[in-house]
Amino acid sequence: MPIRIDPSLPAFTTLEKENIFVMTPSRAAAQDIRPLEIAIVNLMPTKEVTETQLLRLLSNTSLQINISLIQVSGHISKNTSSAHLDRFYLSSEEIYNKKFDGMIITGAPVEQLDFEEVDYWQELCKIMDYAKKNVFCTLYICWGAMAGLYHLYGIQKHLLPKKISGIYYSKLNVPTDPLVRGFDDFFPVPTSRYTTIESTDIQAHPKLQLLANSVISGMTIAKSTDNRSIFMTGHLEYDTETLANEYYRDVYKGLDINIPENYFTDNDPKKPVYSTWRSTAHLFYSNWLNYYVYQSTPYRLTDITEN
C-alpha cells in the first residue's frame, strides 16, 4: 500500500531514496478510493527511527494508507524534539473522537518496571480501552504486546535472568492462519528484552490463540480469538544494524550484556551483520494489513464497534 504521509516528515525522504512507494496528500486526493486509516502509537524513545522502520513495512502492498502518528498525552519525550512532535504527532486525547481501521502500539524500554510504575500507564490503558471499541484491529509490539496482554487479559510478563538479544527462530503453531501465510515453519525474529511471556499462559486463556513461539524467547505471536488484537513480542521492524547499535550502547553504559546471538558474522562484533528477517517482516505486515484489516474492516469507519 502506498502510504500517505506529509512530505516534510523526515521518513519521507529516507523511504523515497529506498524506492519505497510513498504518496503526498495531494496525489492521494486524486484517487477515488477510501484509504485505510492506521494510527501508530509510538512509545519508542527514538521516534523518528521507529517511524521510518514501520512506514517502510506498511508501504509494501497495493492500497492507500493514511498514517496518524500518536504520542501519549502528558508524557514528555526526552529523545525526540518537541518541534518534531508538535509538527507530526497527535496527542492521544485528540484521537478519542476518531475511529481507525488499524492501530500499532509499539514497544518501549520500560519492561523492567511494573506496568503500574510506568508514568503514562493510565493513559496507555485508556488508549487500549478506546481501541477495543474504535479500532478494527490493533497490533501490539514487544513491550506494547506485554502491556496489552496484561491489561486486556491479565497475562503476566516474567523477568528473565539476563537480557536476551539476538535473532531467535520461532516455530509456527498454526501455519494455516492468514497472519503467517507464506512463513517458513521456523522464522527469524530480532529480539531484545529483559522479560518474556510464557507460551503456556497464552494457551491456557480461552480468548487467546498462540500462533508462534520460541523455546528461548517464549511467545512470539498470539492473537485474540475475535481477530481484533495481534500480539508480537519481537521486533521484525528492526533495521539490520539496530541490535548492534543497542549492544554498543549497553557496552558503553557498562552493562553486563551478552553479544547478540545468531547476529554478528562469526559472532564477532567487529564483523558486519546481515538481515535474515527482512522478507519475514514484509510478509507479516502485509498479511496483517490485508487479512486482518483491509479484508475485514467496515467500509464506513463509523460502523466499527466493540466486538
Q: Which residues are catalytic?
A: 142, 235, 237
Provide the residue type at 46 as one letter.
T
Q: For residues 230 and 239, is the Cβ–Cβ distance under 8 A?
A: no
Which region holds residue 235: left if phi is over 0, alpha if psi is between -120 and 50, else beta? beta
Q: For residues 85 and 77, is the Cβ–Cβ distance under 8 A?
A: yes
Grid cell, residue 179, equals 497472519
Q: For residues 107 and 47, is the Cβ–Cβ distance under 8 A?
A: no
Distance CA(177)–CA(193), nearest Å, equals 26
Question: Which letter does DSSP use for residue 35 in this model?
Answer: P
Q: Of 169, 276, 175, 146, which is closest to residue 215 (Cα–Cα)?
A: 169
Exposed e or buried b per residue across 72-110, where buried means at least 16 C-beta atoms within 10 angstroms of its C-beta: bbeeebeebeeebbeebbebbeebeeebbbbbbbbbbbb
